Amino acid sequence: MDRRVTWLPFGLSRYSGKQVVGGGLIVIVLALLPYLDSNSSHISAVADAGYILLLAFGLNIIVGYTGLLALGFAAFFAIGAYTYAFVASPQFGLHWSFWIMLVVSAAVAAAFGVILGAPTLRLRGDYLAIVTLGFGEIVPQLFQNLDKWTGGPDGIAAVDQPTLFGYNFGFNPTPYYYLYFVVICICLLLLTNLRYSRLGRTWMAIREDELAAEHMGINTTTAKLLAFSMGAAFAGIAGVIYAAKLSTISPSGFDFNMSIMILAAIVLGGMGNLSGVLLGGGIIAMLNFLILPQASNWAHALGTKLNVAFLMSVDLTQYRFMLYGIILVLVMLFRPEGLLPSATVRAELHDAGKTPEAA
Amino acid sequence: MFELHNCAPQFVQQLINGVALGGLYALIALGYTMVYGIIELINFAHGDVYTLGSFISLSILGLIPLASISNPTVLALIAVAVIILAALLCGIVGVLIERLAYRRLRNAPRLAPLITAIGVSLILENIMQIWKGNSEVSFPQFLPDNWHQIGSVRFDDRSLLVVVVSVVCMILLNLFVFRTKLGKAMRATAQDRDAAQLMGINVNSTIAWTFFIGSALAGVAGFISGMYYGTTFFLNGYQAGLKAFTAAVLGGIGNITGAMLGGFVIGIVETMTSGCISDQWSEVAVFAILILTLVFRPSGLLGQQLPEKV
Amino acid sequence: MLGITGARRLSIAALLALTLGATGCSNSSGGSGANSSSGAAQGNIIKIGADLPISGADASDGVPTKHGVELAVIDANKRNLVPGFTLQADILDDAVNGVHDPNQGAKNIQAFASDAAVLGIVGPFNSNVAKAEIPLTNSLGIALISPSNTNPDLTKGASALELRRSNPQSITYFRVCATDDIQGPVGADYAYKDRGLRKAYLIDDNETYGRGVSDAWGAQFTADGGTVLAHDHITKGQQDFHALLTRAQGMNPDVLFYGGTTSTGGGLVRKQMGDSGMASTAYFGADGIRNAEFLRVAGATADNVYGTVAAVNATTIPEAKTFLADYQAQFNQPVGSYSAAGYTSAMVIIQAIAKAVKENGGKMPSRDDVLTNLRSVKRFDSIMGPFAFDANGDTTNKIISIYGAKKDVWVFLTQRKFGAK
């Protein structure tokens, strides 16, 4: 194995020189992307991948690291987005700073993570999954029904865009792209370190064997609550940027489908492994924002040539959940560890008799 | 948002609405509870099998020239035939789902089959969307509809149909599970799969039968919901499935009598919330029950307290 | 995977994601072009965006409106209204799971905005979608003309000012139909005076449009001397209205008013009224239910049902004769409530584009030029009759048509015309 670059800060010293150079190159290419591709709808699509990735990071802490299946994760996304929209829109006539709310919304979502987590975390795996699913159903319903404050099913329109040193982001996708880019880089550094920290190891101990972890003297309740609140915080941040970029939010954007999309992303990429989550999130986002709309156009062209009415008017984005369903089933059946698994998850999901591969 | 209405004068009338709705939930809940009882899987796709049942019934009915038949006995026979066909086809779909998607994962970590089930649910929903489109589909209402009045309370044949069919199915299921050999095998497999196998029970076929019966009941529910509402929609199974699952949890998951009881309770709670508070809050009420039950009494109303399996 | 860890995998992942992005980048994005077969060079194409719900339950409103837009573009190309340019209709669907969705609408506007060839947008169909879109078009400076949004707060009053907070003085949103502050009262008057109904039960879907139109309807019904027994809200996606309707039945109304669209439950409510002993109660709605989808869902119960449309009935006016013939020839389908309005909306934009091109010496004009020309429309002789835009962007041609449902067809009953203010 290559020698590690011991002098690098932020825990990057864990990686070899080749890895750091390779990673660095990709960061540079991505940083220059808006200069390489001038089509702003592409930049917008790649920027939107940002919230998918942030949500996937958050859900990965809960499902991937700690092994708690949460099915209503979009609720935290909704809480983050609404927290920002309440104080930065005509809804209550408030126009607070985006940057402060980025932190505040993360904290609010984290707090709701604890509020939901506290009474439910002692439940077994699939029961917990269903409680979080119920929570995920109730939260958008509350936003929908408490219409005096939340705008009801219409949601909140005219949400403020961020301003940085006098520059208003407006509806130009490029600044949002860079904002997501910076936030994701920070999150990645944070998560790489978290993964190997005492807390990270605690989470994985819980995932492997909760009972054993408890007997080893680990306070599993605190660790699980921390996983829930930190995961929720990522969703909160994603919600704020999402609301600002789209300028409007409504309960329908935070339904079960959103939770499933994120779950499909981390399942596809490889639960518990950051690079897997990046890959899965990237694939799902690109499918969603670029490839399916494209494929619809190809289908229309093909339909016009072949004179097939169905193909001429088909909107493939309507069927994207078919694709996510197929992804979930096929991955679980044939590669339950995902495309880029972490060594431990991989070993765990294959026959217990086999020795785990060395990493 | 919150307005309390005086619903006392119509209490009995609303109760009838609730019991009819509850009958549907109970039929669907049975499938959840049987499958959970035997392989501890929340069969997320079950709600969609229910919608599939109404779509299948719809397509079969489309083949029959209903308009030219006026004899009520013939129409009733057609209804019975369609119920049986829909149940059979849904049962087969259920067995196929188990065979193709769940069987391989029977010994995998618990979350793997649950995630697969969510995937199957999405696939079924989209197949139905491609099949019948994404707007309300009309369901032919070919049975004569008569109104009955007892005192100030009115109800029609269709509500009666829902209640009668669901109660009959429940009685048949109870007889089957507690009086037949296959039923005994199911109970044995649910208790201890390995021991059942050692006793000579074919576990694979027993599990397949469980899926068949659960899905067939969902198919029956699909048909009677089509008759009751006169419409169906490709996403109906998602909400109905969640509520039926809530019913199964409330009754004590794995417990057949509990699922029936839970179904009626959920149906009545939903109806009373709509009738006395507001329609908007009925779903919140149901999901609140789900969360509260799981947090404070995970064993449900009738389930026994199980020690955590290690 | 021996030896591949951490950052290395990270880089592989990022690279793959990037490649995926790049493959997507090689093609232009956007919706389905009506005339996408056109071989003209990119620089000679001007696109008219259209954001409408064209799938699911809303399709029976959205698709005929879309056809109106497409026909306008075909006509304009045929008549060479914009010399030197080929026009294209670029249509995006704002329905999610078959129901109009404000989030999707906002996404579509951003997609249009990022395509420099789009000089103006027709849409949206639903008022809550408009509420999400107006702040965007106002900030981006792109014309948005709705064929069918009827909520008055979108253009008038303090709430409209909040929607165009970026540039309060600059109108970017226009509409060619009348608004609910007259549509609601016209319907209520018809129910009270012409149908002799006295006790009303109001239900709405709690959306911008549904809430607004039922409030306006109820206020006028009360002013006429009628009684509003109760006003309930439902939520889209609901299936079972038996409990709600049983409660309504207990109050014994003469008429049930539904404020909302068929896609949010209008058809199901009518269908289930019979189950709760309200088969003979009259059912009133507004333009949200005056569509083919309602007739399909309600089936045999689509009787004693009345709806209004906030635009002229094209089949009654001479100006629309050619349009109707062309529409029939092109699509072989009946026109919808707002097909003519869709055509008119697109034509107003095209005419403004033509003027802007001329002023710009035959070169591609800016979106701002198009807007300036739109705002200065003094008189536009459309297939819906002559009209102009007032200071708020509303049409001066205010007509409400009243229809009654007869099982499988909407029958035109009468219309009310309102003078320019």
Q: Nearest chain C Cα to B232, which residue?
A: C239
pLDDT at C30: 38
Pairing of β B147-150 and β B153-156: antiparallel
Subunit contact B229:C268, Cβ cutoff 8 A: yes
pTM: 0.91
pLDDT at B105: 92
Q: Bigger pLDDT: A358 or B241?
A: B241
**Residue where the block lists tokens 């109806």:** B271
Please check whether residue A332 touches B, CB under 8 A: yes
Pairing of β C227-233 and β C199-204: parallel
Subunit contact A327:B129, Cβ cutoff 8 A: no
| Residue among B9, B135, B271 minimizing CB distance to C243 | B271
Tokens of B68: 């030219």
Averaged pLDDT in 10-residue chunks for chain A of 359 residues: 64 74 85 85 91 97 92 96 96 94 97 89 82 93 93 93 92 94 94 90 90 88 93 97 96 92 93 91 92 84 82 80 93 90 70 42
pLDDT at C1: 35
User: Do residues C293 and C266 make contact, with C-beta atoms less than 8 angstroms apart?
Assistant: no
Confidence of residue C29 (pLDDT cuts 50, 70, 90): very low
pLDDT at A343: 73
pLDDT at B225: 95
Asked whether the predicted pLDDT for residue C6 surpasses 50, the reply is no
Q: What are phi and psi of C288, to 5 degrees?
A: -65, -25
Using one digit for the tens of pLDDT, what is the confidence trace for B276-287?
888 889 999 999
Average pLDDT over residues C253-273: 96
Subunit contact B115:A328, Cβ cutoff 8 A: yes
Inter-CA distances, C328 with A213, C64, C199, C299, C336, Å: 73, 11, 42, 25, 12
Residues 176 to 235 of C: which have CB under 8 A from any B CB? Answer: 206, 230, 232-235
Using one digit for the tens of pLDDT, what is the confidence trace for C119-156?
999 989 999 999 999 999 999 999 999 999 999 999 99
Q: Which residues of B touch C242 (CB under 8 A)?
A: 17, 20-21, 271
Q: For chain B, which chains pass the contact test of at least 3 CB pairs under 8 Å?
A: A, C
Inter-CA distances, C376 with B103, C50, C179, Å: 69, 22, 21
Confidence of residue B4 (pLDDT cuts 50, 70, 90): confident
Using CA of residue B300, residue B301, residue B307, residue B309, what is the dihedral sign? negative
Asked whether the predicted pLDDT for residue B172 surpasses 60, the reply is yes
Subunit contact A42:C24, Cβ cutoff 8 A: yes
Average pLDDT over residues B218-232: 95
Measured in angstroms, the CA of B277 and the nearest CA of chain A are apart by 12
Residue type, A174: T
Cross-strand pairs, C120: C48, C143
Q: Where are the alpha helices (DSSP H) in A197-319?
A: 198-208, 210-215, 220-246, 256-269, 274-286, 292-306, 309-313
What is the average pLDDT score of chain B?
A: 91
pLDDT at A294: 83
Average pLDDT over residues B174-202: 93
Q: Which of A252, A255, A254, A77 is nearest to A153 (CA)?
A: A252
CA dihedral (C216, C218, C222, C228) in degrees, to 10, reads -170
Average pLDDT over residues B181-201: 92
User: Do residues C71 and C330 make contact, with C-beta atoms less than 8 angstroms apart?
Assistant: yes
Tokens of B131: 């099949």
Subunit contact B109:A256, Cβ cutoff 8 A: no
What is the average pLDDT score of chain A?
A: 88
pLDDT at C26: 38
Q: What are phi and psi of C32, to 5 degrees?
A: -80, 125
Subunit contact C135:A248, Cβ cutoff 8 A: yes
CB within 8 A of B187, min separation 6: which ones?
Answer: B177
Interatomic CA distance for residues B45 and B263, integer angstroms: 18
Return the percentage of chain B with pLDDT > 90, whole number.
72
Measured in angstroms, the CA of C72 and the nearest CA of chain A are apart by 19
User: Do residues A131 and A123 make contact, with C-beta atoms less than 8 angstroms apart?
Assistant: yes
Measured in angstroms, the CA of A118 and the nearest CA of chain C are apart by 31
| Residue among C237, C267, C277 minimizing CB distance to B154 | C277
Element (H, E) at B104: none
Residues 46 to 65 of A: which have CB under 8 A from any B CB? Answer: 63
Asked whether the predicted pLDDT for residue C179 surpasses 60, the reply is yes
Using one digit for the tens of pLDDT, what is the confidence trace for A116-141?
888 887 787 788 888 999 999 999 99
Average pLDDT over residues C255-278: 94
pLDDT at A4: 67
Subunit contact C110:A46, Cβ cutoff 8 A: no
| Residue among C6, C20, C28 minimizing CB distance to A282 | C20
Cross-strand pairs, A16: A4
User: Do residues C10 and A269 make contact, with C-beta atoms less than 8 angstroms apart?
Assistant: no
Subunit contact A325:B284, Cβ cutoff 8 A: no
User: Do residues B124 and B49 make contact, with C-beta atoms less than 8 angstroms apart?
Assistant: yes
Asked whether the predicted pLDDT for residue C27 surpasses 70, the reply is no
Tokens of C264: 């949010």
| Residue among B147, B156, B236 minimizing CB distance to C239 | B236
Interatomic CA distance for residues A112 and A235, integer angstroms: 11
pLDDT at C14: 52
Using one digit for the tens of pLDDT, what is the confidence trace for B73-115?
999 999 999 999 999 999 999 999 999 999 999 888 878 899 9
CB within 8 A of C373, min separation 6: which ones?
Answer: C351, C352, C353, C355, C356, C359
Residue type, B193: R
Q: Which residues of B touch A124 (CB under 8 A)?
A: 308
CB within 8 A of C229, min separation 6: which ones?
Answer: C199, C200, C201, C248, C251, C253
Using one digit for the tens of pLDDT, what is the confidence trace for C236-252?
888 899 999 999 999 99
Q: Which residues of A touch C163 (CB under 8 A)?
A: 90, 157-158
| Residue among C235, C263, C277 minimizing CB distance to B280 | C235
Confidence of residue C39 (pLDDT cuts 50, 70, 90): very low
SS3 label, residue C300: helix
Interatomic CA distance for residues A337 and A222, integer angstroms: 27
pLDDT at C4: 42
